[in-house]
């Protein structure tokens, strides 16, 4: 959530940033926020002034009663009663104004970092680098949705039978490969200095608002209406919310956490070739890395996180590329996002497997996540997160890129984790 002080002091820069994200009602919403904030301040001043007068009259009434001036005391009591009505009216309107202000602030996306390129869609994203050689497959090479049938390792029909489309059943070597990848990613994160956590996969409404999934993405989340809980779309949500309403000592920074969870996304409206097989699922496994950092260090830490994710792809021997997302393709809460894509040889296309983002103070402001500066004042921290990694498209690329007539050969880094070196 953007800070009102930033909107007031840097209005033109805010409008320029919102325009870069192609936010259509920027001027009207910013103006509404500034007017609501002005009214909030006015009401607070009037409320405090009336309350102070009432407190002063109460002291005077006590003195008049002691001196026997009942008539004078009665006059002041009448004025006190008027002030109580005023303060109640002020308090009621102040509650309404603060709610309207909060709801309007929730509508505004984060401002993009200065390095974010202009653009409206994925076609305008900037390719930062491309690493590795794209494998050349035989003419009869199969896409992963055919390979999983050939080797009987993932079953979409069974998943559809017990749940519905987009919920596959992993079995035999497919199930062992899933577990191997999760353990490999978690071990690599631990070796890189991330503390492992195992968070809940259901979160409350406050957690959804804290990291920005609400009110922006409620239509994409599975919701249990009876208990008002949400299935998480990513471990970013519960892990970052571990630090909600905290003041973190600077000696603890940066905080690094990693966690494995299943992730759930409704993916409403998804269709076509992009959703075949493992390309897009309603439930999938992912290891997430999260950092809480001092503002001065967040972009250094973002590059460190990006390097960690690239290292995973290199150990998996997958050709990949790094993209810097343009303003129109960025997430609602992000200030800067790198996407990492692996090359799918049988499909002949790039598949996104990770996003690595710096949210600056946007989530921290919602979370009230702060540190105490040297001057004793509390300041907002920066939050970051990255997929390290999401499994489905990694599995798709591993299957497609490494297929041979003898079977699917796995990268050396996974041999000990799987207990086998090829799927056959």
Partners of residue 169 on adjacent β-strands: 155
Q: What is the pLDDT of residue 119?
A: 97
pLDDT score, position 73: 80
The catalytic residues are 265, 280, 352, 355, 393
pTM recorded for the entire structure: 0.92
Domain residue ranges of the chain, discontinuous segments joined by +: 4-107, 122-423
Of the listed ranges 46-60, 128-142, 251-265, 351-365, the one predicted with least confidence: 46-60
- The answer to whether the bond into 389 is cis (omega within 30° of 0) is yes
pLDDT digits (tens, 9 = 90+) for 196-220: 999 999 999 999 999 999 987 778 8
How far is residue 63's CA from residue 71's CA, in Å, rounded to a whole number?
13
> CA torsion sign, 124 to 2 to 238 to 220?
negative
Cis peptide bond prior to 281, omega within 30° of 0: no
Q: In whole angstroms, give the CA distance from residue 290 to residue 288.
A: 7
- Whether the pLDDT of residue 71 is over 90: the answer is no
What tokens were used for 14? 């805010």
Binding-site residues for ATP, please? 265-267, 352-355
**Residue 69: its pLDDT value, please?**
81
**What was the pLDDT predicted at 374?**
84
Quickly state the pLDDT bin for 59 (edges 50, 70, 90): confident
Q: How far apart are CA 55 and CA 107, in angstroms?
A: 39
Is the pLDDT reported for residue 273 higher than 70?
Answer: no
Q: Residue positions in the annotated binding site?
A: 234, 265-267, 288, 352-355, 385
pLDDT score of 75 more than 90: no
Three state DSSP letters for 80-118: HHHHHHHHHHHHHHHHHHHHHHHHHHHHCCCCCCCCCCC
Tokens of 424: 């056959």
Structure letter (DSSP) for residue 335: S
Residue 80 pLDDT more than 90? no
| Bind-site residues for L-serine | 234, 265, 288, 385
Any residues with CB less than 8 A from the CB of 184 and at least 6 apart, and which? Answer: 413, 414, 417
Domain 4-107 in CATH 1.10.287.40:
yes
Helix (H, G, I), strand (E, B) or coil at 165: coil
| Residue 382 near residue 295 (C-beta atoms within 8 A) | yes
**What are 34-50's pLDDT values in tens digits?**
999 999 999 999 999 99
Which CATH number describes the domain made up of 122-423?
3.30.930.10
Q: Are 134 and 341 in contact (CB under 8 A)?
A: no
């Amino acid at each position: 959530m953007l800070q009102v002080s930033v909107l007031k002091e840097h209005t033109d820069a805010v409008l320029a940033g919102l325009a870069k994200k192609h936010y259509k009602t920027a001027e009207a919403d910013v103006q509404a926020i500034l007017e609501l904030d002005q009214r909030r301040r006015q009401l607070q001043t009037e409320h405090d002034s009336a309350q102070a007068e009432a407190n002063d009259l109460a002291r005077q009434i006590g003195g008049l009663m002691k001196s026997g001036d009942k008539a004078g005391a009665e006059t002041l009591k009448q004025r006190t009663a008027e002030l109580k009505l005023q303060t109640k009216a002020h308090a009621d309107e102040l509650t309404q104004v603060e709610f309207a202000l909060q709801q309007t602030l929730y509508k505004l996306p984060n401002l993009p970092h200065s390095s974010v390129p202009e653009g409206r869609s994925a076609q305008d994203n900037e390719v930062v680098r491309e690493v590795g050689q794209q494998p050349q497959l035989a003419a009869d090479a199969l896409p992963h949705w055919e390979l999983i049938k050939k080797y009987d390792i993932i079953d979409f029909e069974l998943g559809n039978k017990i749940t519905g489309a987009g919920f596959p059943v992993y079995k035999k070597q497919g199930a062992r490969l899933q577990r191997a990848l999760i353990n490999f990613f978690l071990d690599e994160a631990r070796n890189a200095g991330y503390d492992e956590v195992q968070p809940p996969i259901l979160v409350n409404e406050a957690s959804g608002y804290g990291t920005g999934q609400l009110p922006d993405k409620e239509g994409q989340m599975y919701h249990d209406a009876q208990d008002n809980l949400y299935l998480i779309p990513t471990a970013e949500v519960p892990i970052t919310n571990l630090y909600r309403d905290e003041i973190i000592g600077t000696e603890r920074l940066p905080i690094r956490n990693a966690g494995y969870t299943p992730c759930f996304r409704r993916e409403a409206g998804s269709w076509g070739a992009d959703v075949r097989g493992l390309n897009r699922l309603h439930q999938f496994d992912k290891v997430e890395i999260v950092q809480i950092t001092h503002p001065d260090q967040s972009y250094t830490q973002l590059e460190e996180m990006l390097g960690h994710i690239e290292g995973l792809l290199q150990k998996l021997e997958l050709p990949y590329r790094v993209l810097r997302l343009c303003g129109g393709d960025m997430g609602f809460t992000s200030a800067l996002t790198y996407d990492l894509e692996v090359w799918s040889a049988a499909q002949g296309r790039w598949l996104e497997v990770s996003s690595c983002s710096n949210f600056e103070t946007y989530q921290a402001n919602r979370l009230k996540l702060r540190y105490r500066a040297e001057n004793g004042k509390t300041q907002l921290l920066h939050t970051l997160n990255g997929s390290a990694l999401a499994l489905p498209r990694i599995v798709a690329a591993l299957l497609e890129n490494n297929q041979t007539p003898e079977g699917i050969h796995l990268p050396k880094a996974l041999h000990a984790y799987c207990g086998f070196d090829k799927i056959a």
